[in-house]
DNA sequence: AAGTGGTCTAGACCACTAC
DNA sequence: TAGTGGTCTAGACCACTTA
């Protein structure tokens, strides 16, 4: 254990933000892994040399960002993506009657290719970098509703295979965590309309030229590092996308 | 001023949440209006009979929900919708290069009609209630991009006229605040694809049958009271919808 | 019973704003 | 200079979980 934060930095940066950074550092260094309980608040406040109130303010923000989860009486844990409510933070397609359902995934294609200019830009890669590109078809209530085309940097996901993707027992982001130690904590998602090409029409069992919802998403890990580029095409005949949900007051 | 909250309610509900409710009550009663500074924290903590820390926790949550805005050294204010960053919380259509721009609005139609079954459901009105229904065309960078069809309950917006809507100097939600004391604080927005009918094709200068993005939004005030039902049709040829924005960590 | 997070207090001092 | 919100402390007691 090093020196306390308050001794290190009279930098004008609030203490609780320094604590937050230190916790994030411990997370991305792998000191605490997904599903782990982190040390109790009392212990952490001593480790960082701050009061319990300051420590709690730092943890509060990390909880708000879905990076940690608190359970009264049990402890504070590193968030797991496969948990219900967290999953639907990132998966926002529901039936038009509002019914939420877990999708089942079918891996359609898996390639190792040179990244296109667009992929390089979105993933902040230098030109000529290679990516794994794979296509998933998602089924909801027995209907094929979504086609995901996903690109990830081959260096970051070194060793990724078709078989691993097929066999993963959990959600994709949970798989990223378990196999590669990569935590998806935020996304930037844009929506537009596009028309089904021959491939998508086939995969979704619709006519070519059918209007589809097109989601374009960059997923980020700690320190705003982009880790995944995804284009989803959604058949919204019976489904819809949750753009903004009610904030309860 | 009444008795303090802590004396009133040993109900098991956390004090800071009771404080939050009391502040919301003062807001919806009109004691503090949009743009007003609310009393200083010290004073409020005495009024509600709680410590400054507890009072701050209540205010913190209201700030997080964009209902209040803090300015260090100046005070805490009731949020105004026409403020830049707040406006784009609700208006989430941007150019595909990411450029944000304020829309200009043209009122296309204004009617006083019996609410349809769907409108009754969304606004939680009893069958047979009447609404004002009006249609706006929104222009971005000189192009007609969005058609909004908006319904509000006539009782809640009593006296609303075509002329008022045409002459309003500010955003629609700011207008709701100023003229009717109605604060929009949250929305529930769903997105799907639809094809342009003759009317929308005409208003947007596109071919009939063009694929458009369809946003279906319920806007809520305090206590989850629905105040507006809106269906927006967006031409996403050069624009896109922000589904989820990056959370900075 | 022991240990965890959840709430709450009663201050202190600092940074910023207005006068 | 006075008044505001922003940060921070060093506790206390409560509610919940686990054993």
Any idea what the CATH number is for the domain that residue B70 is in? Answer: 1.10.10.10
For residues A109-135, give the mean pLDDT: 97
Q: Is B117 on the interface with A (CB under 8 A)?
A: no
Give the CATH number for residue A126.
3.40.1410.10
Does residue B147 share a domain with residue B49?
A: no
Is B220 a member of any domain? yes
Residue B249 lies in a domain: no
A151: closest CA among A195, A198, A113, A188?
A113
| Chain B residues touching residue A249 (CB < 8 angstroms) | 24, 65, 67, 185-186, 222-224
Cβ contact A243–B192 (<8 Å): no
* Cβ of B48 near strand C (distance < 7 A): no
Chain A residues 29-48 with CB within 8 Å of chain B:
none
B40 touches strand C (CB under 7 A): no
Per-residue pLDDT at B9: 46
Do the strands B104-114 and B93-95 form a parallel or antiparallel pair, or are they unpaired? unpaired
> Domain residues for B12?
5-78
Inside any domain, residue B247 = no
| Whole-number distance in Å between B15 CA and C7 C1' | 8
CA atoms within 13 A on the CB side of A131: 25
DSSP 3-state of B61: helix
Cα distance between residue A88 and residue A159, in whole Å: 28
Together in a domain, A101 and A60? no
Cβ contact B12 with chain D strand, < 7 A: yes
The pLDDT score that the predictor gives to residue A88 is 77
3-state helix, strand, coil in chain B (%, to 5): 30, 35, 35
Angle at A219 (CA atoms; ends A201, B212), nearest 5 degrees = 40
In a shared domain, residues B14 and B106: no
Establish if B246 belongs to a structural domain.
Answer: no
**CB within 8 Å of chain B, chain A residues 207-226:** 211-213, 215-218, 220, 222-224
Protein-proximal positions, strand D, CB < 7 A: 3-12, 15-18
Beta strands in B47-142 (DSSP E): 68-71, 75-78, 93-95, 104-114, 130-140
Alpha-carbon torsion B166, B171, B172, B176, what sign? Answer: negative
Is residue A5 pLDDT above 60, yes or no?
Answer: no
Tokens at A175, concatenated: 């798989």
Chain A residue with minimum CA distance to B94: A190
A196-200 contacts, C-beta under 8 A, 24 or more apart? A196/A233, A200/A147, A200/A233
Taking the C-alpha atoms of A132, A133, A137 and A138 in order, what is their torsion angle to the nearest 10 degrees?
60
* Same-domain status, B14 and B34: yes
Which token pair is A29? Answer: 């260094």
Nearest nucleotide to B6 (CA to C1') is C8
Q: Does pLDDT of A181 surpass 50?
A: yes
B132-151 residues touching A, CB cutoff 8 A:
none
Position A229 in a domain: yes
In a domain, A248, yes or no: no
Between strands B239-244 and B93-95, the pairing is: antiparallel
> Residue-wise over A76-108: b if at least 16 C-beta within 10 A, else e?
bbbbbbbbeebbebbbbbbeeeeeeeebebeee
Q: Are residues B118 and B69 in the same domain?
A: no
Distance separating alpha carbons of residues A15 and B27, to the nearest angstrom:
33
- Give the angle subtended at the CA of A74 by the CAs of A44 and A55, to the nearest 5°: 25
State whether B109 and B151 are in the same domain.
Answer: yes
Q: Which residues pair with A146 in a beta bridge?
A: A138, A234
Q: Does A65 touch chain B (CB under 8 A)?
A: yes
Q: Which nucleotides of C are covered by protein (CB under 7 A)?
A: 3-12, 15-18
Are both A87 and A58 inside the same structural domain?
no
Q: Which of B78, B107, B138 is the last residue of a domain?
A: B78
- d(C-alpha A182, C-alpha A227), whole Å: 8
B104 and B221 co-located in one domain: yes
The per-residue pLDDT for A159 is 95
Half-sphere exposure of A163 (CA within 13 A, CB side): 1
- The whole-number pLDDT of residue B28 equals 87
The residue length of chain B stands at 249
- Residue A39 placed within a domain: yes
**A239 beta partners:** A95
Tokens representing B149?
């069809």
pLDDT tens for chain B, residues 1 to 249:
444 554 444 567 899 999 999 999 999 888 998 889 999 999 999 999 999 999 999 999 999 888 899 999 999 999 887 776 677 778 999 999 988 888 989 999 999 999 999 999 999 999 999 999 999 999 998 889 999 999 999 999 999 999 999 988 788 998 998 899 898 989 999 999 999 999 999 999 999 999 999 999 999 998 889 999 999 999 999 999 999 877 654
| Same-domain check for residues A74 and A91 | no
Please state the separation of Cα B136 from the chain's center in Å: 16
- Do A65 and A122 lie in a common domain? no
SS3 content of chain A, % helix, strand, coil (to 5): 30, 35, 35
Answer with the one of B32, B57, B78 that is the final residue of a domain: B78
Q: Which of A96, A114, A1, A106 is nearest to A49 (CA)?
A: A1
Residue-level pLDDT at B10? 52
8 A C-beta contact, residue B193 and residue A212: yes
Number of structural domains (chain A) is 2
Q: Are A203 and A103 part of one and the same domain?
A: yes
- pLDDT bin (cut points 50, 70, 90) of residue A9 is very low
In-domain check, residue A247: no
- Chain B contact probe: residue of A58, A188, A192 with most B CBs at under 10 A: A192
Instruction: Tell me, yes or no, if A241 comes closer than 8 A to chain B by beta carbon.
Output: yes
Domain endpoint, select from B61, B78, B95: B78
Residues of B in contact with A195 (CB under 8 A): 211
A99 and A22 inside one domain:
no
């Amino acid at each position: 254990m090093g020196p306390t934060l308050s001794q290190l930095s009279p930098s004008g940066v609030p203490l609780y933000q320094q604590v937050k950074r230190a916790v994030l550092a411990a997370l991305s260094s792998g000191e605490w892994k997904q599903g782990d309980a982190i040390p109790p608040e009392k212990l952490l406040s001593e480790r960082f040399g701050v009061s319990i109130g300051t420590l709690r303010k730092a943890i509060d923000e990390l909880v708000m960002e879905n990076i940690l989860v608190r359970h009264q009486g049990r402890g504070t844990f590193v968030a797991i993506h496969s948990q219900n409510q967290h999953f639907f933070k990132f998966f926002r397609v529901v039936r038009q009657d509002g019914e939420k359902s877990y999708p089942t995934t079918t891996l359609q294609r898996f390639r190792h290719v040179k990244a296109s200019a667009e992929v390089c830009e979105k993933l902040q890669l230098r030109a000529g970098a290679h990516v794994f590109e794979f296509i998933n078809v998602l089924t909801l209530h027995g209907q094929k509703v979504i086609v995901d085309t996903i690109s990830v940097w081959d260096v970051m996901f070194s060793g990724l295979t078709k078989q691993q993707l097929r066999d993963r027992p959990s959600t994709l982001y949970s798989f990223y965590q378990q196999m590669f130690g990569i935590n998806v904590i935020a996304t930037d998602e844009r929506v537009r309309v596009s028309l089904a090409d021959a491939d998508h029409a086939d995969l979704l069992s619709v006519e070519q030229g059918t209007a589809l919802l097109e989601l374009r998403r960059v997923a980020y890990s700690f320190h705003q590092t982009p880790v995944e580029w995804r284009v989803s095409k959604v058949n919204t005949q019976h489904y819809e996308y949750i753009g903004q949900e009610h904030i309860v007051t």
